[in-house]
Homo-oligomer: A and B are copies of this chain.
């Protein structure tokens, strides 16, 4: 299988670090460049001792993030950058013929207006919104294969969209009464030197935040609207919990008609029965973040409540893998024509 050269712009955050790990061990991708303003000139091994046993960590040095240089080095470029900044790199890299896989929010929305509403600045490259594909392979596999600009989904959105889209598409739940209650590990906040994310501020602490209008609502609602064929406005409450990795989402749905376990089971089996990275739990099992940590798997379980009539669906993922870097690699595999599971577990 033909190897391709890949680069990561912004490789020093948690998502960037996870990308480095995945790409160092990928059977078909060759990591040729990692950038970091802060660490430019230093080797991977110096900044991430955990990778020091990999031979490439001794030779690969962080460089300044210059699009024109990277475009000559790499076929595929991952952007692990803040929103707003990512878009600028994307334009240059696409023009130079690279495939761009963006982990920021810059190309996840189709609407520049909604982008401005949620991100508080004009979209830096609105023309590209038409060209980008939302990088959720279980939903957009065919589009991803043909795309040059893949907008890899957010961590919370992945944990909400995977369990919800099949139910909406099948008309099993009402689009008007959706609640998502999510619990995220602290790596979701990024590697930022802020008091709020110090060990002593997070350990022995549990807290909601961003209530009631977290930015991720924009892409969640847009995707759910596509799936439902009607405008979806929903409730979403993220919480910070003291684990490094993992998102656990509990979803509350109102059935659109009389539901049975069989109908739900059949709906999910049809949607995900053959998916390598969606695990439908059976019997008494419920999702647990420790069962997906370090993997690209999203666990899903559901319970129909005969007392309330509601459908409760629960999902678990590793926010840095299926919620970020693993999913981005999954998209890379698709766009490069490699086995979708290459380099992922």
Q: Interface on A for B, CB 8 Å cutoff?
A: 14, 25, 49-50, 52-53, 179, 181, 183, 185-187, 191-195, 197-209, 211-213, 233-235, 237, 239, 241-246, 248, 250, 252, 276-277, 279, 281, 285-295, 297, 299, 303, 305, 307-308, 310, 312, 314, 316, 345
Return chain B residues, CB-CB under 8 Å to A25. Answer: 345
Q: Which one, B49, B179, B206, B233, contacts A179 given CB within 8 A?
A: B179
| Bound CA–CA A191/B201 (angstroms) | 9
Q: Is the CB of B50 within 8 A of A207?
A: no
Return chain B residues, CB-CB under 8 Å to A307. Answer: 212-213, 233
Q: Is the CB of A235 within 8 A of B205?
A: no
Q: Is the CB of B252 within 8 A of A287?
A: no
| Bound CA–CA A207/B284 (angstroms) | 13
| Bound CA–CA A14/B243 (angstroms) | 20
Q: Is the CB of B237 within 8 A of A250?
A: yes
Return chain B residues, CB-CB under 8 Å to A237. Answer: 181, 250, 312, 314
Q: Is the CB of A212 within 8 A of B303?
A: yes
Return chain B residues, CB-CB under 8 Å to A294. Answer: 294
Q: Is the CB of A204 within 8 A of B290?
A: yes
Q: Is the CB of A195 within 8 A of B206?
A: no
Return chain B residues, CB-CB under 8 Å to A186. Answer: 198-200, 203
Min distance, Cβ A331 to any Cβ of chain B, angstroms: 19
Min distance, Cβ A265 to any Cβ of chain B, angstroms: 16
Q: Is the CB of A286 within 8 A of B204?
A: no
Q: Is the CB of A241 within 8 A of B199?
A: no
Q: List 11 A-B contacts (CB under 8 A).
A: A50-B290, A53-B295, A193-B193, A199-B202, A199-B242, A205-B246, A207-B289, A208-B286, A208-B314, A212-B310, A237-B314
| Bound CA–CA A294/B2 (angstroms) | 30
Q: Which one, B198, B204, B246, contacts A243 given CB within 8 A?
A: B204
| Bound CA–CA A211/B301 (angstroms) | 11
Return chain B residues, CB-CB under 8 Å to A316. Answer: 206-207
Q: Is the CB of B212 within 8 A of A305?
A: yes
Q: Is the CB of B291 within 8 A of A206?
A: no
Q: Is the CB of A191 within 8 A of B200?
A: yes
